[in-house]
Amino acid sequence: MANRNLEKLASIDAQLRLLVPGKVSEDDKLIEYDALLLDKFLDILQDLHGEDLKETVQECYELSAEYEGKRDPKKLEELGSVLTSLDPGDSIVIAKAFSHMLNLANLAEEVQIAYRRRIKLKKGDFADEANATTESDIEETLKKLVYKLNKSPGEVFDALKNQTVDLVLTAHPTQSVRRSLLQKHGRIRNCLAQLYAKDITPDDKQELDEALHREIQAAFRTDEIRRTQPTPQDEMRAGMSYFHETIWKGVPKFLRRVDTALKNIGINERVPYNAPLIQFSSWMGGDRDGNPRVTPEVTRDVCLLARMMAANMYFSQIEDLMFEMSMWRCTDELRVRAEELFRTARRDVKHYIEFWKQVPPTEPYRVILGDVRDKLYNTRERARHLLAHDISDIPEEAVYTNVEQFLEPLELCYRSLCACGDRVIADGSLLDFLRQVSTFGLSLVKLDIRQESDRHTDVLDAITQHLEIGSYREWSEEKRQEWLLAELSGKRPLFGSDLPKTEEIKDVLDTFGVLAELPADCFGAYIISMATSPSDVLAVELLQRECHVKQPLRVVPLFEKLADLEAAPAAMARLFSVDWYKNRINGKQEVMIGYSDSGKDAGRFSAAWQLYKAQEELKNVAKEFGVKLVMFHGRGGTVGRGGGPTHLAILSQPAETIQGSLRVTVQGEVIEQSFGEEHLCFRTLQRFCAATLEHGMNPPISPRPEWRALMDQMAVVATEQYRSIVFQEPRFVEYFRLATPELEYGRMNIGSRPSKRKPSGGIESLRAIPWIFAWTQTRFHLPVWLGFGAAFKHVIQKDSKNLQMLQEMYKTWPFFRVTIDLVEMVFAKGDPGIAALNDKLLVSEDLWPFGESLRANYEETKDYLLKIAGHKDLLEGDPYLKQRLKLRDSYITTLNVCQAYTLKRTRDPNYHVTLRPHISKEYAEPSKPADELIHLNPTSEYAPGLEDTLILTMKGIAAGMQNTG
């Protein structure tokens, strides 16, 4: 027996070695990292739950691995019978184990990527970098612009100083991992990276080994499932925690790197601290589109909380700065100010830790910074009082109300140091602090407000009915505009407290009330979703004025459905023709384009092409009216919702549509991938900055007329096929609900927003996120590829020369290449065998032929795609990604099979399984089975343990696919 166990133990490693492609390069440590974490975890599993359970995990893994090798569906059924014979407690432990193993595989990957990146930087060699196209190093970009493209260093510096990337963090409900786990994952990553450091001593190694064991076990022992749904305030706090942990310090660190890169092309100046290179905004607590939980009170709370956090972070740094600024030489201007403050200041302050006694005027910088500290303390306390009690006894004079007041004394210190020959000192922590103040201001982030256009129409309709001048809702666009403009030009108030208000109307007006009450620097843009006409924008302008918003927010229409995108250029031209509006915007307009709903509406191919064309046309309209246009890209994490590598996504935008100003949403799980660690934060800032600069100074080529004609033809065919299946096939919705876990998605408690806009209704009312999530779970990814195959087939059969044209487009046109590459990546993650298993188990038999036809379409589309890319196999151009996906597949397959059979058990009361005896032991009492896990969810309407098993499979697959919604 003992021998067999040893063999068995070795077998999972052996399986890994057989399955995994060989080393891709000399610096490839992925398999080592992965095996180390896996061994550790299997030992922990055996310690906690006994040997039998560990063997079951290995058996499942082996069956999955055999299936991955030969794609034999019988192996999936064998795996299914192992998994369904487990009792509830065991099946939870197994699902949890595989989900956990996938998280560990992801961590091994992140450490490997960071390791390869460091080696490259040491060598300074990016030549062999297969993914140089997806990586933008700021220094590489500057050198490329100067030495390869012959731009002068001065030109590059000017462009850089004047560009702005605004990253907008949104609480889209796609982050399926709890924060408690994310922190443990971060510590596992750090241990793993340190274990492989060159200069590690045996004692260090032993301690790191213990730490690794501890963190892996702690993560496994943490309940992965959120037991309650997060509120918008929870989402905002989770989003803000990234500022605390990485972004706050990451910004000055990144800007120093930009200074260094500039030096290396011969610019001996630093980026001015007030150059708006990077800015941050947020939708958390401001986005009310379809989320009834985001109330005016939530918006107020979120703004005050962010102000309190900002003041607190500045306050915690100011004493360090006071320590550093011990110099006594200063300009007369500064000395006069310091003496005046010394005379009027309070004496001793006992609640400060350092510098609690009054600072003498012989340390003038400290006197000035001491005053800044007092004001920051008051600013933080006032925000705290307003949050807790709605009032504060700290007067406004004692706090900072705008960022200029805060910058002024800091700038005074900076000027004085430079004038006294101490520029090197000024360019230390003081410069970092100034850069933080310019980036984060007093509000930390600017909150955008988003609301549906219909809600504004309701308010105006109530007003016009109350004034007895008719029904605004029924008026034509011309009449609406005429009335709105007359009111905007007039002075009279439109309504008083006697306006009859429904709950909905009160909510909209109270939101404008919050905009009027709080400081203007809390807010960014007012975004109108489902905007179609100029009156939608003018309505918000009028409501801002009526509610006394002192500095009105810029109003941004959001176009997302295919028809809205097509009509957007004409709508903007009509808006720019309104003289009142043209004067109001001062030559600048922002427009948001939505990637998710357009993809759900017409399929990815047509959506991508329509977004491309809409941007070009919007740019031309803006030019014609002399307006500078800023495009705001609402892209999700998954390809179906416009996601993909940042660098490529930016460089594939049409020429002249960015021009140094870019706003992009960073959503859900992408926030963790972009800002979860210091080095990730650094790379994210670097990618956005470098790619934006390169796009402006070295614009991508414009497509040739014959390419455009071909794209137009293909888009028509693609949309037609997509809609004929998704919207016109009478039983499609029924098939979708049976074949995927869409109906069960809401149980994951990922976000605060309902998964549907309207409770009834079919696909059109379903949010884009659950729509993609459900198809990602079954690894069929239908919304991403549906329509591509039909489009390619149509044009190639029409004229065989079109195949060469498509291949040429792939080689030379970044937009087309990115579109194809991303779909190829999704195919590499897909597996129609899993979809077939789901059909067999969950879909009624008369719908099987429909599922088969979809799978045939999948295969055909994949073949066309490979032809156009000139690849024999999927991902042959990216061996690193191919290797990483192969490593993950066997874990994901087990979870897929577990999910399919668990859904069968929850949905079909006549499906009976024979359970084998309980195998999992609890560590503390070996005789006691691990069924306490079942009691974590006492209220489930399903048989014990099934709901948790199901949710764990969803989370595990989401981790394995590395994109949820």
Which residue in 384, 446, 600, 884 is the catalytic one? Answer: 600
Encoded tokens for 371: 């005053």
Task: Report which of 903, 908, 930 is spatially closest to residue 918, judged by C-alpha positions.
Answer: 930
CA end-to-end distance (rounded Å), the chain: 46
Look-up of token digits 């058996």: 59
Residue 213 is a catalytic residue:
no
Cβ(371)–Cβ(409) under 8 Å?
Answer: yes
Task: Report which of 278, 554, 315 is spatially closest to residue 440, judged by C-alpha positions.
Answer: 278
By the 10 Å C-beta count (0-12 exposed, 13-18 middle, 19+ buried), 436 is classed as buried
Distances (CA, A) of 806 to 587, 795, 799, 866, 871: 40, 10, 12, 12, 14
Encoded tokens for 189: 């990553």
b/e sequence 705-736, b meaning 16+ C-beta within 10 Å = eebeebbeebbebbbbbbbebbeeeeebbebb
Encoded tokens for 477: 């666009």
What is the dihedral angle through the alpha carbons of 515, 517, 519, 525, rounded to the nearest 10 degrees?
0
Encoded tokens for 885: 């996906």
| Cα separation, 784 vs 639, whole angstroms | 7
At a CB cut-off of 8 Å and minimum separation 6, what does 837 contact? Answer: 73, 76, 80, 896, 897, 900
Q: Report DSSP state, residue 756.
A: B
Q: How would DSSP label each residue in 747-803?
A: GG---SS-SBSSSS-SGGGB-HHHHHHHHHHTT--HHHHTTHHHHHHHHHHH-THHH
Task: Report which of 690, 692, 680, 749 is spatially closest to residue 242, judged by C-alpha positions.
Answer: 680
Encoded tokens for 586: 């001062």
Q: Residues 782, 786, 790, CA angle at the centre, nearest 5°? A: 155
Identity of the residue numbered 195: L
Other Cβ atoms closer than 10 A to 909: 8
Distances (CA, A) of 569 to 6, 593, 604, 614, 715: 69, 12, 21, 7, 19
Encoded tokens for 163: 């560009």
Other Cβ atoms closer than 10 A to 356: 11
Residue 49 is a catalytic residue:
no
| Cα separation, 456 vs 452, whole angstroms | 7
Look-up of token digits 């007041």: 405
Which residue in 40, 49, 172, 380 is the catalytic one? Answer: 172
Residue 456 is a catalytic residue:
no
Which residue in 641, 687, 781, 829 is the catalytic one? Answer: 641
Residues with active-site annotation: 172, 600, 641
